[in-house]
Copies of this chain bind each other. A is one copy, B any other.
Amino acid sequence: MARLDRSLIAGASAFAGLSAEALDEILSRAEILRLLKGETAFRQGEKADRFFLLLHGRLRVTRVNAQGAQILVRFIAPNDLFGVAMAIGAAAYPGTATAATESLALAWPNASWAELIATYPSLAVQAMQSLGARLQDTQDRVLELSTRNVERRIAGAVLKLARQAGRKTDEGVLIDFPLSRQDLAEMTGATLHTVSRTMSAWEAKGLVACGRQRVVVRDEPGLAAIANSDE
């Protein structure tokens, strides 16, 4: 395998503040993984034996319950750690990570985690903060599901993705990875039918423009007004 350059991971907050030598050592334990669209890094219930850092692309993490109902837990963005099941004491991956677009990730064997934490305690601090941020996000989602109607929830999800992964185009802010209506349904606890009906109504009002797996926010303030409206 070709030697990996430390610039690959220098931008990841998990490794913030580490020396060049530390980054080199961490990289030396990693292997690189290419995922074509639709391929998985791991599946729910599989023994968790590796953890990952996304370098490029976008992954969709989904989770199903015993009845087969599915939610979209989150999208993984470049520089995010993921699959850290062992860090949270889980023996199996609690969800399935699928490439939403062609992606590149680094993978480390779990055994490296304890060694890395012992050598670089700042890694634990960063990992805890990133877990904390995910916990806050998930609690926000509970709050939204408990108190907001479905149109507001869809508006909130689209705005958040536009802020996280938006790219300015002539048409508006393009969410820069393939995003289906089914994804939005699984992110907001809505049916596919409701998402389709809502997006069509917004398109007619000039709030968004949609294509196959493609969403452009044309009127962010207009969408924000829906997301933040009192019922």
**Is the C-beta of A67 less than 8 angstroms from some C-beta in chain B?**
yes
Within 8 A of B (CB), among A142-192: 142-147, 186, 188-189
Within 8 A of B (CB), among A63-82: 63, 65-67, 69, 71, 73
Partner-contacting stretch, out of A35-43, A121-129, A194-202, A204-212: A121-129
Whether the Cβ atoms of B128 and A94 lie closer than 8 Å is no
CB-CB under 8 A from A87, the residues of chain B are: 128-129, 132
Whether the Cβ atoms of B89 and A132 lie closer than 8 Å is yes
What does DSSP make chain A's interface, helix, strand, loop or mixed? helix
CA distance in complex: A219, B177 (Å) = 49
Whether the Cβ atoms of A71 and B138 lie closer than 8 Å is no
**Is the C-beta of A118 less than 8 angstroms from some C-beta in chain B?**
yes
Would A143 and B88 be within 8 Å (CB), given that A124-B128, A131-B135, A136-B94 are in contact? no
**Is the C-beta of A56 less than 8 angstroms from some C-beta in chain B?**
no
Q: How far in angstroms is the closest Cβ of chain B from A85?
A: 8
CB-CB under 8 A from A136, the residues of chain B are: 88, 90, 94
CA distance in complex: A188, B147 (Å) = 10
Whether the Cβ atoms of B128 and A63 lie closer than 8 Å is no
A138 to chain B: closest residue by CB? B138
Whether the Cβ atoms of A147 and B88 lie closer than 8 Å is no
Whether the Cβ atoms of A147 and B228 lie closer than 8 Å is no
A127 to chain B: closest residue by CB? B128
A85 to chain B: closest residue by CB? B132
CA distance in complex: A144, B124 (Å) = 31
